[in-house]
Amino acid sequence: MSLQINYNAGIYEIQGMLNTENSVYLELQLQNIIEYSSGVVISLDKVEMIDEYTTKSVASLQERAQGNNKVFFIIGKKNKKVCDQFNALNLNHLLM
C-alpha cells in the first residue's frame, strides 16, 4: 500500500508503509500543515510498517513544532509495529 494522508475530525491519519522512500514526502506534507496551523495531531494507528529513519523524522517534526510553540501529538500506541519502533529508539514517550 502506498502512503496516504487523510484528514478526519481534526486528525491526520497516516496509512501505508513509512520508509526512507516516502519519508521526505511525509515530512514535507507535515511541515506545511504545521506551518499554517496552531497544532497537528497525527495518527499512526493504520501504518503497516515504519522504519528507523521515518521514526526519527517524525520525532524531529514534533520537536520542531514544539520549538515553535505549536502542538504536535502522535497517536500510535495501539499499533504494535509503531510502538516497537519508537521503543527501540527510546522515543516511546512521544506516543499517545
Query: How is the chain split into domains, by residue range?
Result: 4-94
Mean pLDDT (whole number) for 20-27: 93
Specify the pLDDT at position 2: 83
3-class DSSP assignment, residue 21: helix
Reported as a single tens digit per residue, the pLDDT across 33-71 is 999 999 999 999 999 999 999 999 999 999 999 999 999
The model scores a pTM over 0.85: yes
Model confidence pLDDT, tens digit, residues 68-91: 999 999 999 999 999 999 999 999
CA dihedral (32, 1, 16, 24) positive or negative = negative
The CATH class given to the 4-94 domain equals alpha beta
What the block records as the C-alpha cell of 37 is 496551523
pLDDT given at position 1 = 54
Mean pLDDT of 8-12: 95
